[in-house]
Structure 1
């Protein structure tokens, strides 16, 4: 660095970025600093990770359970999905969903309508949304309060069940807690709540929430690819539960779905959490493929555009590595907390 007359420091983060970001969860303008570019890119990465993890988990559980279906067609359809999706490179998934599927959709005026509520076009996916008029920070605070309250209710219910054999009415208490928090919020802020449905105005849709083509393609690719692995993890965890557990449940008069939901899956989850965490970490790190299709994640806008303009490779790479490390450790920490929560008492 001394030979090349380069200095080491983070003073560049206060400089004006001067370039635009086509899609951002947080408000952004070209006059914002490189430090805010880092935050915006990180928020976009977190958005992809959350959407991908939720979608892949739901789809993976459905596929894993379908693999064990006694119906020949359902079981083999799930097997075909797994073998077809997990044996293709993830980069190819991203390119196919973006170039072949999303970009091949009709323009906004001829968009594919899903019950006049959602619309698919080459400009993205347009979905209905509940508008509150609150800022993003306020919504995040409300979400944290709701999640914390629900976690406390579930924890106390579990502890009481272990002590007395009878748990709290957690479903009813959770519904009351959500209603109380929302009512208090809207009474204090006088926020207006209304349901927005996308409507065509001119050459594009207005209202609701819009997912850019890049975001939609990336989330679908990550979800469908990782769901094929999660499906096999779910199948393996279910089959690892002792067969006598199923037979005991069936002998008590439970049907197959109740046996899965009440007896088998709760035991399988204890075996499923560690490998499922590894899959979540893979999905998070694979989100960096967003730069291939131009989605403005942290790698695209910070490692790409910011590095090209400032030349601060060591600082930018170090910050990006630290961001991914903290996100990965966060996922691992939440997984460990859940693992301890599901641990059998006395072991």
Structure 2
């Protein structure tokens, strides 16, 4: 009796086309999972590239029909507008490309300073939430709950309109220590400028540091105050002596001229408002991350440190925080990325960051919306990727190594 075999389309087609030229070979490869997966992925990439090409061609045709620029020739055109905070040389006669770099540097400056401040504040508040002192813990908890539940934009407007704008005018300025002046135009600080003795002081400091290192490395003196004092004097002594002979710096103090102060270094109210808003808002989230990281460390670590006689400060700095970092770093990366991207809200208080200068004024004057937006998106993407790379590298170094 002949057994009945169920019909199989795959087996039938393979038998029919097996060994029959290219078609049979293609069909045989198609039933190979690895080859089939590769073919599907290649097909998907080709279809996606075709769709993007069609969209790009359609976009270019519509832009040409409406006389909208399709290239980057505007980059070297004269900007014709002023910027109130310029870390590099800039004037209305500069190009749009120069304006782009001014906005980019302003964004990088406020983001870099805010990253440092928000980390310090967040760590302090996060530790404060776990303090045994009920008042400190309550104040830290109030800070977190209030600031993280108010939108960042409202906080920026609060710092700018309610705190900094009501300051007195230039003629009624608040005179601060060390020659600083505060008014509603900003904070004016003495500007240091290098003199002829700056190179000599730098050379003397380098020599002193080298001598201090040699004494520290080869000294037969026992560690203690005499040795440490000798190393300190060798490190800074030559530089101090040379600076008394030839001052390395001269200070340019702000002076009231007309309706405003001239000279010195000006910190704009917009910069201060943005810096405070970004730092304090992001620090509220970082504080919760730090608190969770500290709580993840077993309590036995603190008890073991206490049994060895370590004070609470050293226990936290040397034992608890290094272990908590393994839990803190991954979510901390997200907060750093949010801070950099949230800096684009500076446009609402008039701080000349990349968005306000480039996607605002430059876009309006040139009409090159697609090019300007693409460049701005690429900048923020690049900044985010660099921060992610650095934090991931740090996370790998801090992670436990399994044996």
Cα distance change, pair 71–118 in 1 and its aligned pair in 2 (3 A): farther
Provide the residue aligned with 2:302 in structure 1: 246
Distance 1:198 1:243 in 2: 54
1:262 & 1:196 partners in 2: Cα distance? 41
Summarize the Cα distance change of 1:343–1:27 in structure 2 as closer, same or farther, 3 Å threshold: same
Could you tell me which residue of structure 1 aligns to residue 207 of structure 2? none
Structure 1 length as normaliser, TM-score?
0.79
1:81 shift after superposition: 0.9
Q: How do 1:123-272 and structure 2 match up within 5 A?
A: 123-127=185-189, 130-132=192-194, 193-194=248-249, 196=251, 198-202=253-257, 204-205=260-261, 208-272=264-328
* 1:157 paired residue number: none
Of 98, 114, 126, the match for 1:52? 114
8 Å Cα contact 1:66-1:74 kept in structure 2:
yes
The alignment's TM-score, normalised by the length of structure 2, stands at 0.69
Query: Does the C-alpha gap of structure 1 residues 333 and 218 become closer, same or farther in structure 2, counting only changes over 3 Å?
Result: same
Aligned to 2:15: none
Q: Whole-Å Cα distance in 2 between the matches of residues 119 and 84 of structure 1?
A: 32
State whether residues 21 and 296 of structure 1, in contact with CA within 8 Å, keep that contact through their aligned partners in structure 2. yes
- Which of 346, 355, 358 is equivalent to 1:290? 346
Unaligned runs of 5+ in 1: 135-141, 143-171
Map of 2:369 onto structure 1:
313
User: Whose radius of gyration is greater, 1 or 2?
Assistant: 2
Equivalences, count: 302
Distance 1:227 1:251 in 2: 33
The 1:95/1:72 distance shift into structure 2, 3 A limit, reads same
| C-alpha contact 2:188 2:254 (8 A) present in aligned 1 | no
Distance 1:237 1:133, change over 3 A: farther
For 1:59-78, what aligned pairs fall within 5 Å after superposition? 59-78=121-140
Q: Secondary structure at the match of 1:104?
A: coil
Residue number in structure 2 paired with 1:148:
none
Give the superposition deviation at 1:118: 4.3
Q: Does the C-alpha gap of structure 1 residues 133 and 96 become closer, same or farther in structure 2, counting only changes over 3 Å?
A: farther
- State the alpha-carbon separation in 2 of the partners of residues 195 and 78 from structure 1: 42
Matched, 1:277 2:277: no
1:123 deviates by: 1.4
Q: Does 1:102 align with 2:158?
A: no
User: Which residue is 2:72 aligned to?
Assistant: 10
Does the alignment pair 1:331 with 2:383?
Answer: no
Between the aligned partners of 1:130 and 1:244, the Cα distance in structure 2 is: 52
Spell out, residue by residue over 1:64-97, the C-alpha distance to the aligned partner (whole angstroms, 9 max, x if none).
Answer: 1111111111110111111111111100001000
Separation of aligned partners in 2, 1:306 and 1:206: 29
For residues 250 and 110 of structure 1, the distance between their equivalents in structure 2, rounded to whole angstroms, comes to: 55
Q: Which residue of 2 aligns with 1:343?
A: 399
Residue aligned with 1:23, SS: coil
Render the CA deviation track for 1:140-159: whole Å, top value 9, x for unaligned: xx9xxxxxxxxxxxxxxxxx
- What is the Cα deviation at residue 121 of structure 1? 2.0
Aligned 8 A contact 2:358 2:372 in 1: yes
What residue ranges of structure 2 are gaps of 5+ in the alignment?
1-62, 197-201, 203-227
In 1, distance between residues paired with 2:151 and 2:64? 42
Quote how far apart the aligned CAs of 1:3 are.
2.9
Following superposition, the deviation at residue 54 of structure 1 comes to: 1.0
Change (3 A) 1:75 1:113: farther
Checking the alignment, whether the CA contact within 8 Å between 1:128 and 1:195 is kept in structure 2 is: no
Moved more, 298-307 or 102-111: 102-111
Q: Is the 8 A contact 2:252 2:263 kept in 1?
A: yes
Q: Which has the higher contact order (CA 8 A, sep 6+)?
A: 1
Contact kept? 2:72, 2:371, Cα under 8 Å: yes
Would you say the 8 A contact 2:195–2:249 is kept in 1?
no
